[in-house]
Amino acid sequence: MQQKVAVIYQTQTPPARNGIIKPMKPGGYADSGADIAYSLRKQNIDVISPADEPGTEADLDWVFPDTAEGIQAAINKGADTIWLNTVLYDGHPIEKFIDAGIAVVGQIPKQVDIFDDKLVTNELLKNNHLPIPRSVLITHNNADTFKLNFGYPVVAKPIRGRGSQGVYLVNTPTELTDILADMFSSGDYGDALYAEEFLPGTEVTITVMPPGGYVIDGEVLEKDQHWSLPPVRRFNHANGIAPYNGTVAVIHNSEVLNDSELQTEAMIQLCQQCELAAKLVQSRAPIRIDCRANAQGENFLFDLNMKPNMTGASRPHRTDQDSLTALAARKIGWSFDDLISNMLKQSWRKDAQKIK
């Protein structure tokens, strides 16, 4: 029996954790949610939407709010699968529906809550012998006394960040003091931040898919481990930092590595390291890991994103909106529609699918 799918989007900022705030994306991923729902409907998959006849360009016609009422409204209209195109956390309203047996596409909320904390994630990766940059925790209490065990330039970052929002390349102690003061006074990121050594080498983004059955080149393949899509190189950084995709569409500053680059020992090893990271955080949907080389060409995993952006060129007015994951998928022959249909194949119910 064909699934009846509803896509939900983020409607509120997640609760603070230990005084740390994850800022909300304007629009709460309604745009990518509409891209997903439109793609599914185009593929003759039964999409449940708030509007009976959604307008192609009207994002909110396609997606339900991620509140208990919004999710229940989708189920009342017939949805049996909820696509979690939202930021999850422990206590998110979707949890009671997962407990009740609804199928979902997306991550386990409790796991997202844990691993959205970049310092917790980095510690896990480090303990499993994965390469991460050196960093230092900075709070209101130690902002005047913390010590760097690495030199400038450094990168100042939110602990529960989202993409490049609030990420700054800092060249001097005075500049860092000023930026920290601004970030703390804004209240956008909570009571703690961190500074990380700046890696000046090539940056790539690697999307890691969960285990499951996939259709690639017309053939059904069973992947029994997490596996990587081809890495995507980032370029045209703004002051050393990849710009936010809402400012510069990623198709204008990103490209998939060519075949010879993909076959280098360093890139094969980096993909394997990202796959281990995905296993460690128990991902059940795509995650995106940003990696960068130091001056000696050694690669490091510097940012693991449990909720990668999933915009795509499915609607006619958004032909330049392929996400980094969609760009990577094209290298293995997947259109955005193929990516979305293969993601749907990985839907899961509580206790019905265990991560290997």
Q: Render 245-267 in DSSP notation, one character per residue.
A: TTTS-GGGTEEEPPHHHHTSHHH
The dihedrals phi and psi of 64, each to the nearest 5 degrees, come to -100, 145
Q: Is-contact 121 281, C-beta < 8 A?
A: yes
The dihedrals phi and psi of 263, each to the nearest 5 degrees, come to -95, 5
User: Quick one: 221 and 267 in the same domain?
Assistant: yes
In this structure, what CATH number is given to the domain that contains residue 190? 3.30.1490.20
Is the pLDDT score of 59 beyond 60? yes
**Interior angle at CA 41, CA 100 and CA 35, nearest 5:** 90
Question: Which residues are CB-contacts of 297 (< 8 A; sequence separation ≥ 6)?
Answer: 201, 266
User: Quick one: 226 and 192 in the same domain?
Assistant: no
User: Quick one: 53 and 81 in the same domain?
Assistant: yes
Average pLDDT over residues 308-337: 94
The dihedrals phi and psi of 258, each to the nearest 5 degrees, come to -80, 175
Confidence band, pLDDT 50/70/90 cuts, at residue 40: very high
Residue 140 has what pLDDT? Answer: 86
Percent of the chain whose pLDDT exceeds 90 = 85
Residue 247 has what pLDDT? Answer: 58
User: Quick one: 159 and 211 in the same domain?
Assistant: no
Bridge partners of residue 289, in order along the sequence:
206, 304
- State the Cα–Cα distance between residues 194 and 273, nearest whole angstrom: 23
- Domain end, chosen from 197, 213, 234, is at 197
Residue 323 has what pLDDT? Answer: 94
Structure tokens given for 298: 């050694």
Q: Are strands 232-234 and 254-256 parallel, antiparallel or unpaired?
A: antiparallel
Q: Is-contact 236 263, C-beta < 8 A?
A: no
Dihedral angle sign, alpha carbons of residues 214, 203, 293, 182: negative
Is the pLDDT score of 8 beyond 90? yes
- State the Cα–Cα distance between residues 290 and 244, nearest whole angstrom: 13
Residue 145 resides in a domain: yes
Residue 162 has what pLDDT? Answer: 81
Averaged pLDDT of the chain: 93
Taking only the tens place, the pLDDT of each residue in 261-283 is: 999 999 999 999 999 999 999 99
Q: Where are the alpha helices (DSSP H) in the chain?
A: 30-42, 68-76, 94-99, 109-115, 118-127, 173-186, 259-262, 265-280, 324-331, 336-344
Q: Which of 73, 96, 100, 56 is nearest to 6 (CA)?
A: 73
Residue 172 has what pLDDT? Answer: 95
User: Quick one: 162 and 236 in the same domain?
Assistant: no
Taking only the tens place, the pLDDT of each residue in 172-215 is: 999 999 999 999 999 999 999 999 999 999 999 999 999 999 99
> Which structural domain, as residue segments, surrounds residue 292?
203-333
- Residue 314 corresponds to which amino acid? S
User: Quick one: 153 and 51 in the same domain?
Assistant: no
How much is the pTM? 0.94
Q: Is-contact 160 115, C-beta < 8 A?
A: no
Is the pLDDT score of 354 beyond 60? no
- Domain end, chosen from 70, 86, 106, is at 106
Is the pLDDT score of 355 beyond 60? no
Taking only the tens place, the pLDDT of each residue in 24-36 is: 988 999 999 999 9
Q: Is-contact 160 117, C-beta < 8 A?
A: yes
Confidence band, pLDDT 50/70/90 cuts, at residue 239: confident
User: Quick one: 81 and 165 in the same domain?
Assistant: no
Taking only the tens place, the pLDDT of each residue in 97-146 is: 999 999 999 999 999 999 999 999 999 999 999 999 999 999 988 988 89
- State the Cα–Cα distance between residues 317 and 245, nearest whole angstrom: 17
Residue 245 has what pLDDT? Answer: 58
DSSP designation for 309: -
Domains contained in the chain, number: 3
Torsion of CA 332, 4, 51, 25, to 10 degrees: -50
- Domain end, chosen from 60, 89, 106, is at 106
Residue 356 has what pLDDT? Answer: 31
Q: Which of 224, 211, 205 is nearest to 282 (CA)?
A: 211
Question: Which residues are CB-contacts of 57 (< 8 A; sequence separation ≥ 6)?
Answer: 315, 317
Residue 62 resides in a domain: yes
Please tell me which residue, 94 or 2, carries the higher pLDDT value.
Answer: 94
User: Quick one: 210 and 312 in the same domain?
Assistant: yes
